[in-house]
Chain A
Amino acid sequence: MKKRTFAIRSLAAAGLTAPGASAMLPPPDQPGADPDRPVGLYQFFTQQHEYTLAGHRSHSSHSSHSSHRSSSGGGGGSYRSPPPPPAPAAPLRSTPRPSTSNSTPPSSVLPQTATPPKVLPGNSGMFANTVMRVQSGLFAFGYYTGAIDGFMGPETKTALMKFQLDRGMPVTGTITQEVLDAFNIKVE
């Protein structure tokens, strides 16, 4: 597991775009999969990153941005328990909350809202999982060297903004549909 992680990292870091690699690319009818573009190889790896992330997960022991990939074996993991790889979509609430809940004094005299937000791409399931996928994408492109910890810290934001700038996207420092498309991240 660990070896596999390092192999991918070094391939990506070397910017390896071997001609033979295109043979392993996803079929061209898949959105965002254009074999002529240099990102093709990366996209291949994004398909594999269940492995990559699994390798990181067991090592990213906390949400600190500076001490990444510590080999301490996950002690002091206060951030969150490792999410299961296929994150099930959280059930969408179908009914609005009652407008007068005894447990919440301030709101009960304030205007109420009707429907909870819809599940949108990148919002479903474990959001941290989506962040990890973006972080590994940024890492592979050389924009990010911090921990793949699933947390949008300042370092991740800065990397994301540079990436957005270079790719001609709106520079938001947030995960947008363009960002998901660029990394070929599909969120069910």
Chain B
Amino acid sequence: MIALNLAARFEDTSARPFVTRLTRDGAGGACLAAEFGASQTYQLPGQSFVIDVPDGDDLLGDVVFADPQNGRVSRWIRATSPHNTLLVTERCDQLCIMCSQPPKKGHIDLFEYLEAACRLAPQDMVLGISGGEPLLFKDQVFTLIERIHAARPDLGFHVLTNAQHFTEADLDRLRQPALRKVLWGVPLYAASAALHDEIVGKASAQAQLLEGLAIMARAGLGIELRTVLLKQNYLPLPALACLVSARLPFIRVWAVMQLERAGFARNRWHDQFIDHSAEPGALIEAVSVASAAGIAVSLYNVPYCTVPAALRPFLRQSISDWKRTYSTDCLECSAKIVCSGFFEWHAELSDYATGAPV
């Protein structure tokens, strides 16, 4: 796993947090000024800080949030990664039973820093925006994306939201190019409203979500529908495929993903993890229904060897490269280049009945 959060020693520990890019020559950021083994000193006017570079890693080009008072440097945008996600808030209005990043009540407004970070991002990068529920701060998120669109039109955004905060009043704004070009990731777990609401821990959530999706469709937004496989929603998955095909044909892609062993799912693993390889029928049927209806389907965090050949064309590499890993059983496997692997905190290969190195 790649370390995103590094301890650092600052020269001026009383300074406010700041965002900078780590560079070799100091152009547009902090300059690499000294190197002693794995220890690097970066300098910018009035400040310097020392970081121990993790083994085999390279920090140059990264956009970091530097917090002198807490002695920490967070790699917000890694230059070499196609999967950078900025967290807008940890507050959330849902409480999903398997949440990998359980919400917190507090909110620290970091928009000033987030904007600075986006402005320093590498050319043509797509940046994720997540939370918590980012659109609890809808106006600020919209403003951030609009301002960056004006300053850095080369950048793209992927926003993960429960889609329950869009209203008709937003339509004009959503139809502008800045928000139109965003890809919006929206979770939907079941065709049954009762089941979806139970999974996300919020009454009427599915009804509000479908309203939100309708508004997004009217604005012409790009939507990536997301479904995590759980014991709770696995067998009814074909019904969800029917709902998606019949009522949500405007989505760009349906991303179906295996459970991440983190957050709430860590302690509830045996109540939530479904071994799709033991009973692949529901997954095969759901993918068949949706793809036959012209829906683009992608499977994430689903190891290559655990699905029948018919599903393999739908496999995609893991959504977050810093989480991607392989089971110890996978060392010799020849299918790794086409395998989505596991999320860092996922099952071992032995958790699947049919999985074996190829």
Contact = CB atoms under 8 A, between A and B. Distances in A.
Contact of B89 (A104, A105, A120, A123): A105
B116 to A, nearest CB: 14
Given A122-B34, A131-B33, A117 B72 contact: no
Main secondary structure of the interface of A (DSSP, over half): loop
B34 A111 contact: no
A79 interface: yes
Interface in B1-48: 1, 3-9, 11-13, 24-27, 31-37, 39, 41, 43, 45-46, 48
B87 A96 contact: no
Interface of B: 1, 3-9, 11-13, 24-27, 31-37, 39, 41, 43, 45-46, 48, 50-52, 65, 67, 70-72, 74, 76, 86-87, 89-90, 101, 104, 106-108, 110, 132
Given A107-B5, A117-B52, A123-B36, 10 more contacts: A80-B45, A97-B70, A110-B5, A111-B1, A118-B52, A123-B34, A127-B43, A153-B26, A157-B31, A173-B24
Contacts of A78: 45-46
Nearest to A173: B24
5 contacts: A90-B11, A90-B13, A93-B7, A110-B74, A131-B43
Nearest to B31: A152
Contacts of B12: 80
A117 B50 contact: yes
Contacts of A121: 36
Given A63-B45, A102-B106, A123-B50, A172 B11 contact: no
Interface in A137-188: 151-154, 157, 172-177
B326 to A, nearest CB: 18
Nearest to B13: A90
Nearest to A158: B25
A66 interface: no
A113 B7 contact: yes
Interface of A: 63, 78-80, 90, 92-93, 96-97, 101-123, 126-128, 130-131, 151-154, 157, 172-177
A119 B70 CA distance: 17
B43 A176 contact: no
A106 B76 CA distance: 8
A123 B5 contact: no
Contacts of B4: 107, 110-111
A110 B323 CA distance: 10
B144 to A, nearest CB: 15
B110 A106 contact: yes
Contacts of A173: 24-25, 32
